[in-house]
């Protein structure tokens, strides 16, 4: 083991924190990810900054909260002068590349205003969220407005697959005995194998691409973001992963009839979304969850392949490896599907950091319960590579003190996550204006408080109600708790870093310096 030289930043999409064997899932076995956990630290209370792909990822990549970076939902462009991972790591000598998904929407208007040529090297980096797009693949191609095939589809075509939209027709559909294509968009087919062979599936392909990159990079230091689309929908697994798990492996839903009685208005509106209504049925859970587990199992196997290759190349000794996800998946818990709200199933993420540095030896295999956030990763990377902390932009904290046992006396006592449901049917049902469809979660060791614009707050007591089945947001007995947490949220919000063009050190250097610069005001 040695100093950190490379970073392998693995992200899954929509992988719940509790769907790993090292996180306690009783039947899903993920030995390779468990092995990574054994080499590193697992964070049991890691939270995404927004339980939605786009904004969550923009927080991972910018190191800033959603309200700060402003890309609040899928398809909302990240403003052109938000710094991203590459801006921090390239000056430290790393090649920074992507294999897989970012959900980045380029700020075309901002680029045009500044006359940034999107076809230039710089323009490509800006449009690709700072990553060299070794193989950008957002994993979804409905085919509407996106005529061009992705590299993965060209790969499928080269393997002899045929069809109009290979992503859909081959990788994310099943086939009836008579040859009819059964779309993976329909969850009823989740128990059938994908038409694609396992070795040509998205997870296998992207792992291959990661290995290609690592080989190509050779001795040059690198940061590779290997970003799997799975186990995100369409919930279709290639054989044999479609049938490794069965209805017997489906855990009971975490839900209670009382949750639906006089629910919080926003929660109530999400209960009515089609995906939630479907996941409220046992039949759906029983069909989908085994496929979801199979997709996780498949990822685990490919991570095993990846780790073996790294070991062979000697890269395990100088590569910091992160395994995480952008958010969770309700899978019917709390009568919901998808994500976007703030129950643990949605907002808590798996996070394992395996640090090769000998200073981390004594924490290997540890489970760390302190509260951490997605935005902590970027400062961690900068710290591990010996770069300078840049708190005037980076709103997270390096995790190295927790990993290397350096003192971290004043760790945070709350995490934040935010949601913008402006783009969702729930907003229309609630008659909320596009700019006011916001929720802000502040979660401490014990309490989870959610401030909703225009509605009463939610409050859960994680100590006495760890399953979050009783919303205390309107209970008069907890008014003092809510007032305190609301004040904490205000404190947090006032601390957002928008003064980004000058470092705190530079501010300190200039403090009380006007006269040195010749501005002799106020003299008699």
Our CB check for its own copies shows the closer of 222 and 440 to be 440
- Burial of 263 from C-beta contacts in 10 A (0-12 / 13-18 / 19+): middle
Cβ 168 vs Cβ 184: under 8 Å: yes
Quick one: tokens of 353?
Answer: 């950091």
- CB-CB neighbours of 179 under 10 Å: 6
User: Shortest distance, CB of residue 389 to its own copies, whole angstroms?
Assistant: 12
**Residues 6 or more apart in contact with residue 102 via CB below 8 angstroms:** 57, 61, 128, 129, 131, 136, 138, 225, 227
Site size toward its own copies (CB under 8 A) is 92
Candidates 178-186, 191-199, 290-298, 370-378; binding stretch for its own copies (CB under 8 A): 178-186
500 CA to centre of own chain: 24
Our CB check for its own copies shows the closer of 219 and 523 to be 523
Choosing from 271, 337, 351, 472, the residue that interacts with its own copies (CB under 8 A) is: 337
The verdict on 12 binding its own copies (CB under 8 A) reads: no
Q: Which residue has the tokens 């808590």?
A: 348
- CB-CB neighbours of 399 under 10 Å: 27
Residue 134 is inside which H or E element, if any? strand 132-136
The verdict on 118 binding its own copies (CB under 8 A) reads: no
Binding residues for its own copies restricted to 71-110, rule: CB under 8 A: 71-72, 75-81, 83, 87, 105, 107, 109-110
Cβ 339 vs Cβ 69: under 8 Å: no
Binding residues for its own copies restricted to 26-45, rule: CB under 8 A: none
The verdict on 250 binding its own copies (CB under 8 A) reads: no
Nearest to 297 by CA among 45, 508, 6, 27: 27
Our CB check for its own copies shows the closer of 196 and 337 to be 337
Binding residues for its own copies restricted to 405-434, rule: CB under 8 A: 420, 422-425, 427-428, 433-434
Choosing from 27, 91, 113, 154, the residue that interacts with its own copies (CB under 8 A) is: 113
Our CB check for its own copies shows the closer of 140 and 204 to be 140
Quick one: tokens of 265?
Answer: 């208005």
The verdict on 265 binding its own copies (CB under 8 A) reads: no
Quick one: tokens of 343?
Answer: 């129950």
Q: What is the spatial distance between Cα 293 and Cα 18, in angstroms, rounded to a whole number?
A: 11
Binding mask 151-170 for its own copies (x = CB under 8 A): --------------------
Q: What is the spatial distance between Cα 341 and Cα 440, in angstroms, rounded to a whole number?
A: 10
Our CB check for its own copies shows the closer of 51 and 356 to be 51
User: Shortest distance, CB of residue 58 to its own copies, whole angstroms?
Assistant: 11
Binding residues for its own copies restricted to 45-74, rule: CB under 8 A: 67-72
Binding residues for its own copies restricted to 433-462, rule: CB under 8 A: 433-435, 438, 440, 451, 453
Residue 356 backbone dihedrals phi, psi, to 5 degrees: -75, -10
Pairing verdict, β 351-354 and 367-368? unpaired
User: Shortest distance, CB of residue 97 to its own copies, whole angstroms?
Assistant: 19
User: Shortest distance, CB of residue 412 to its own copies, whole angstroms?
Assistant: 15
Cβ 182 vs Cβ 175: under 8 Å: yes
The verdict on 466 binding its own copies (CB under 8 A) reads: no
Candidates 43-51, 119-127, 353-361, 372-380; binding stretch for its own copies (CB under 8 A): 119-127
Choosing from 2, 24, 176, 186, the residue that interacts with its own copies (CB under 8 A) is: 186
3-state DSSP assignment of residue 51: coil
Binding residues for its own copies restricted to 274-313, rule: CB under 8 A: 274-276, 278-279, 284
- CB-CB neighbours of 186 under 10 Å: 13
Our CB check for its own copies shows the closer of 239 and 277 to be 277
Nearest to 36 by CA among 359, 303, 298: 303
Binding mask 130-149 for its own copies (x = CB under 8 A): ----------x-xxxx----
């Amino acid at each position: 083991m040695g100093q950190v030289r490379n970073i392998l930043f693995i992200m899954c999409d929509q992988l719940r924190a509790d769907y790993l064997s090292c996180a306690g899932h009783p039947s899903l076995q993920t030995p390779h990810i468990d092995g990574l956990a054994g080499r590193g630290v697992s964070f049991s209370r890691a939270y995404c900054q927004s339980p939605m792909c786009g904004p969550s990822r923009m927080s991972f990549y910018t190191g800033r909260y959603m309200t700060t970076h402003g890309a609040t939902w899928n398809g909302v462009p990240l403003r052109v002068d938000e710094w991203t991972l590459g801006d921090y790591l390239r000056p430290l000598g790393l090649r920074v590349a992507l294999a897989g998904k970012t959900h980045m929407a380029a700020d075309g208007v901002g680029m045009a205003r500044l006359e940034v040529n999107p076809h230039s090297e710089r323009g490509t980096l800006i449009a690709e969220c700072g990553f060299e797009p070794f193989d950008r693949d957002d994993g979804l191609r409905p085919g509407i407005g996106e005529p061009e095939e992705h590299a993965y589809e060209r790969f499928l075509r080269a393997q002899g697959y045929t069809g109009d939209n290979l992503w859909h027709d081959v990788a994310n559909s099943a086939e009836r005995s008579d040859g009819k294509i059964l779309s993976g968009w329909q969850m009823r087919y989740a128990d059938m194998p994908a038409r694609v062979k396992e070795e040509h599936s998205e997870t296998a392909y992207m792992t291959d691409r990661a290995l290609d990159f690592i080989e190509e990079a050779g001795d040059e230091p690198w940061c590779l973001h290997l970003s799997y689309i799975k186990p995100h929908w369409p919930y279709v697994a290639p054989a044999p992963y479609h049938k490794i798990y069965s209805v017997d492996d489906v855990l009971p839903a975490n839900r209670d009839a009382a949750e639906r009685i006089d629910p919080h208005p926003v929660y109530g509106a999400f209960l009515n979304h089609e995906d939630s209504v479907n996941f409220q049925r046992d039949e759906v859970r029983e069909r989908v969850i085994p496929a979801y587990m199979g997709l996780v199992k498949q990822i685990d196997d490919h991570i095993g392949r990846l780790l073996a290759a790294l070991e062979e190349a000697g890269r395990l000794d100088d590569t910091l490896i992160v395994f995480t996800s952008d958010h969770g998946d309700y899978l019917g818990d709390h009568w919901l599907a998808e994500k976007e709200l703030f129950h643990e199933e949605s907002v808590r993420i798996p996070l394992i950091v395996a640090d090769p540095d000998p200073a981390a030896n004594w924490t290997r295999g540890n489970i760390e319960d302190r509260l951490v956030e997605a935005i902590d990763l970027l400062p961690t990377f900068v710290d591990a590579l010996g770069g300078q902390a840049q708190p005037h932009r980076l709103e997270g904290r390096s995790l190295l003190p927790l990993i290397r046992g350096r003192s971290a006396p004043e760790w945070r006592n709350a995490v934040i996550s935010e949601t913008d449901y402006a783009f969702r049917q729930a907003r229309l049902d609630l008659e909320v204006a596009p700019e006011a469809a916001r929720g802000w979660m502040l979660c401490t060791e014990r309490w989870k408080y959610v401030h909703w614009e225009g509605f009463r707050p939610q409050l859960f007591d994680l100590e006495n109600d760890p399953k979050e089945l009783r919303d205390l947001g309107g209970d008069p007995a907890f008014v003092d708790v809510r007032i305190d947490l609301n004040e904490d949220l205000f404190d947090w919000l006032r601390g957002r870093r928008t003064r980004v063009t000058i470092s705190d050190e530079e501010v300190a250097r200039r403090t009380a310096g006007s006269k040195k610069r010749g501005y002799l005001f106020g003299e008699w």
